[in-house]
Amino acid sequence: MEYSVFSSTLNKHIFDNSKRDLLKKIAEYPDRYIGLFRPNKPRTKILQNLLQSHEIRFGDALEDLFQQYFLALGYRNLEKEIIRSNKRLRLDQLFQDNQYIYFIEQKVRDDHDSSKKDGQMKNFEKKIAALLFDHEESDLKCYTYFIDPSLKKNKNFYNEEIEKIRGEYGIYIKLCYGKELWEEIGHPEVWDELTEYLHRWKEGIPEMPSVNFDENAENSFEEIKKLSVFVFRKLFNNGEVCREILPILFPGNKTLHLLREYFCEQRKTIYANIANKITEIIASIPTRND
């Protein structure tokens, strides 16, 4: 895989629409960011939210990257959503070659607590059972895979549970960490490239995400302008949000000016009312460039 494809996939999953999603969360759950009984100030809570979101999105990005790798290696990717008894099951990876169908349930780290690890193995078994409706047991190779090899908190538990499932279902199941999966399918070079590219990518990203939407007002505007008017109403009609959070996100008022112009052009009452509210907010926010 070319590094440009690798990095653009990561950036798309992790950073695209993060501002839009943050505004939606603030509008829906403002008390998570402000209030007397919060030990952190709003800026810190916003940063925590972004960092947590990036962690979740990183797992999604790796799922996409691995699917691209499997395709490039000559495997045929299969439909990853299975419907059984009106319930939808989504598999992380499902692909095949001329001999086997491979099912992989992947997570970034093996650091789950007891409830999550139990739930993970139950879901893993449910997906195996669903696959057996359409495939012979001898055709399946199934893996629980943790990408980060440095954390193996629950390795003994997973091995014990996998042994039980293997005995009951009579299929090939294996627990893998890090490079082990790629060695299992005969392509350890993918792991070497993956880790090299990750080091390179991390060198180019900032230490901390920026909470200043006005640093690139045009991009911020394009990302958030299509949010539901319901979200903007919730944001702009909350006095505490306007006083404590909007000055952090829009310190130079640049994005707010673009939003106001956009809403003024829509020729609908709700947009006109939001534009008027933005005018009031701009007047109340001291313009800064930080």
Residue 17, CA atoms < 13 Å, CB-side half-sphere: 8
For residue 190, the cross-strand partners are none
Instruction: Say whether both 85 and 174 belong to one domain.
Output: yes
Instruction: Indicate which CATH number applies to the domain containing 144.
Output: 3.40.1350.10
Instruction: Say whether both 120 and 165 belong to one domain.
Output: yes
Average pLDDT value for the chain: 91
In a domain, residue 229? The reply is: yes
Q: Which of 186, 217, 249 is the last residue of a domain?
A: 186
Span 185-204, pLDDT tens digits:
999 999 999 999 999 999 99
Does pLDDT of 153 surpass 60?
Answer: yes
In a domain, residue 234? The reply is: yes
Residue 69: how many other CB atoms lie within 10 Å: 19
Does pLDDT of 45 surpass 60?
Answer: yes
The pair phi, psi for residue 88, each rounded to 5°, is -95, 130
Instruction: Say whether both 56 and 86 belong to one domain.
Output: no
Instruction: Give the residue-averaged pLDDT of 51-55.
Output: 89
Does pLDDT of 288 surpass 60?
Answer: no
Q: Which of 151, 186, 221 is the last residue of a domain?
A: 186
pLDDT score of 287: 59
Instruction: Say whether both 108 and 171 belong to one domain.
Output: yes
In a domain, residue 220? The reply is: yes
Instruction: Say whether both 103 and 40 belong to one domain.
Output: no
Tell me the angle at which helices 229-236 and 269-284 cross, rounded to the nearest 10 degrees. Answer: 30
Three-state SS annotation for the chain:
CCHHHHHHHHHHHHHCCHHHHHHHHHHHCHHHCCCCCCCCCHHHHHHHHHHHHHHHHHHHHHHHHHHHHHHHCCCEECCCEEEECCEEEECCEEEECCCCEEEEEEECCECCCHHHHHHHHHHHHHHHHHHCCCCCHHHEEEEEEECCCCCECCHHHHHHHHHHHHHHHCCEEEEEECHHHHHHCCCHHHHHHHHHHHHHHHHCCCCCCCCCHHHHHHHHHHHHCCCCHHHHHHHHCCHHHHHHCHHHHCCCCHHHHHHHHHHHCCCCHHHHHHHHHHHHHHHHCCCCCC
pLDDT score of 137: 87
pLDDT score of 109: 92
For residue 81, the cross-strand partners are 90
pLDDT score of 227: 92
Does pLDDT of 147 surpass 70?
Answer: yes
b/e sequence 239-264, b meaning 16+ C-beta within 10 Å = eebbebbbbbbbbbbbbbbbbbebbe
Q: Name every residue whose Cβ is closer than 8 Å to that of residue 130 and which is 6 or more positions away in sequence.
A: 82, 84, 89
Instruction: Give the residue-averaged pLDDT of 209-236.
Output: 93
In a domain, residue 95? The reply is: yes
Instruction: Give the residue-averaged pLDDT of 240-269.
Output: 93
Instruction: Say whether both 80 and 165 belong to one domain.
Output: yes
In a domain, residue 268? The reply is: yes
In a domain, residue 193? The reply is: no
Domain that holds residue 80: 74-186
Instruction: Say whether both 88 and 134 belong to one domain.
Output: yes
Instruction: Say whether both 119 and 172 belong to one domain.
Output: yes
Instruction: Say whether both 178 and 212 belong to one domain.
Output: no
Residue where the block lists tokens 């907010």: 281
- Strands 101-107 and 93-96 turn out to be antiparallel
The torsion of the CA quartet 41, 45, 51, 52, rounded to 10 degrees, works out to 150
In a domain, residue 69? The reply is: no
In a domain, residue 67? The reply is: no
Instruction: Give the residue-averaged pLDDT of 90-98.
Output: 94
Instruction: Say whether both 130 and 221 belong to one domain.
Output: no
State the total domains in the chain. 2
pLDDT score of 68: 95
Residue 150, CA atoms < 13 Å, CB-side half-sphere: 0
pLDDT score of 37: 59
Does pLDDT of 100 surpass 60?
Answer: yes
Instruction: Say whether both 161 and 242 belong to one domain.
Output: no
Instruction: Say whether both 231 and 180 belong to one domain.
Output: no
The band of 248, judged by pLDDT with boundaries at 50, 70 and 90, is: very high
